Structure 1
């Protein structure tokens, strides 16, 4: 090929070599780098959200049941705050929603909570750290309590009975992540783990129940 023969695109061989040698050959507009302003205006791929603990596919499994244990006591007072003045222990705020199998919030669902105190003891005489409440129209509940203590053979847990109006009762237990005894407690179920985080006044937890109702 002659020195000035045309390269594809109409550029002479001499011009092509010279331009490449000095780095001056401009890229075609279609492949040129975008300016910062152009990059900011390009459509972004949608962010993938983490599924919530409930109904991520419209037909989720119901919350697993667990044994009642020997310390349930009927007739607990209706209240959302189980903490009394001077009670030792780390404060815990537990919130969540009660759903049906079709992912509809269950209003006026009954939740009856009971648990051990800071020292791992249950009050079987009165109603310390025992109480029931009802969800609001959006299926929401909120409980103020403490992180329960440990006792032989068990990891930390909170007992609860949940019942949609005129439906069967779900009896189960809620667990804390990262507890050393989770691996040795024969009743522990990772599906019943609460989402727990540290707050300025103690700890916060979240758990959504899915009841076996339409």
Structure 2
């Protein structure tokens, strides 16, 4: 959504924007779902779970990206998966390891926070960050986030101004804010989702190679973890692979 040609967040900010984000932000009922974009050639599954992509010796301008994940009724979605990947300071993607790749889940208020760097440029594209967003047991949204004021925005054929982050600075670190609105119905009159059944259970310690059933399908564990609600196999492709 754009207001006066500038990017706007799904939530309404108070005049004192330096205050912490409110636990239950107000969302504009008129927001459309966040538009999808191409995955591109550099996505890799099984990224590590982490909220910071900055490692020892990382070169580049520090950037913190934060925001919320909402559904269509403007209610925050807890336990939503966000899988980020981007180029390094020189515009290169790590296709061997997992530098500048990582996934995380929104907290109980639907909030997320990512520490990274401003990605470099590579031929044919403006500056951007890739992300996959998935509410528990819902389809995956694949999209990209953009930076306002970039010269390459006008020449990038897939650039979409609806995906502009709201940028700022804090203590020498650039800050970007963006709220994802997923195409998820949140009508309280809707009947609850049926219990999927199966052998997967929250609280269980799973190791790579373990197999479970969930919703009539079989899944294989990709990364060792202790299962919690919101990380059911269909909701956590970084943790489970359908077999």
TM-score band w.r.t. shorter chain: 0.7 to 0.9
Q: Does residue 135 of structure 2 align to residue 181 of structure 1?
A: no
Structure 1 stretches of 4+ with a deviation exceeding 4 A read none
Match of 2:87 in 1: 116
CA distance, structure 2, for counterparts of residue 150 and residue 142 of structure 1? 23
Is the contact made by 2:132 and 2:142 (CA closer than 8 Å) also made in structure 1? Answer: yes
Match of 1:23 in 2: none
Q: How does 1:23-34 map to 2 (within 5 A)?
A: none
CA distance, structure 1, for counterparts of residue 39 and residue 8 of structure 2? 27
Q: Does residue 178 of structure 2 align to residue 207 of structure 1?
A: yes
Q: How does 1:86-165 map to 2 (within 5 A)?
A: 86-165=57-136
Is the contact made by 2:9 and 2:166 (CA closer than 8 Å) also made in structure 1? Answer: no
Shift, 1:127, TM fit: 0.2
Deviation string, structure 1 residues 129-163 (Cα, Å, up to 9, x no partner): 00000000110000000000000000000000000
Match of 2:9 in 1: 53
CA distance, structure 1, for counterparts of residue 68 and residue 48 of structure 2? 21
Is the contact made by 1:59 and 1:103 (CA closer than 8 Å) also made in structure 2? Answer: no
Max radius of gyration: which structure? 1
Aligned length: 165
CA distance, structure 2, for counterparts of residue 64 and residue 188 of structure 1? 11
Deviation string, structure 1 residues 97-148 (Cα, Å, up to 9, x no partner): 0000000000000000000000000000000000000000110000000000
CA distance, structure 2, for counterparts of residue 135 and residue 98 of structure 1? 7
Q: Which deviates the most, 51-60 or 203-212?
A: 51-60
Match of 1:75 in 2: 46
Shift, 1:57, TM fit: 3.7
CA distance, structure 2, for counterparts of residue 52 and residue 175 of structure 1? 13
Q: Could you state the TM-score of these two structures normalised by the residue count of structure 2?
A: 0.66
Deviation string, structure 1 residues 6-56 (Cα, Å, up to 9, x no partner): xxxxxxxxxxxxxxxxxxxxxxxxxxxxxxxxxxxxxxxxxxxxx962165
Is the contact made by 2:64 and 2:116 (CA closer than 8 Å) also made in structure 1? Answer: yes
CA distance, structure 2, for counterparts of residue 77 and residue 159 of structure 1? 15
Shift, 1:199, TM fit: 2.5
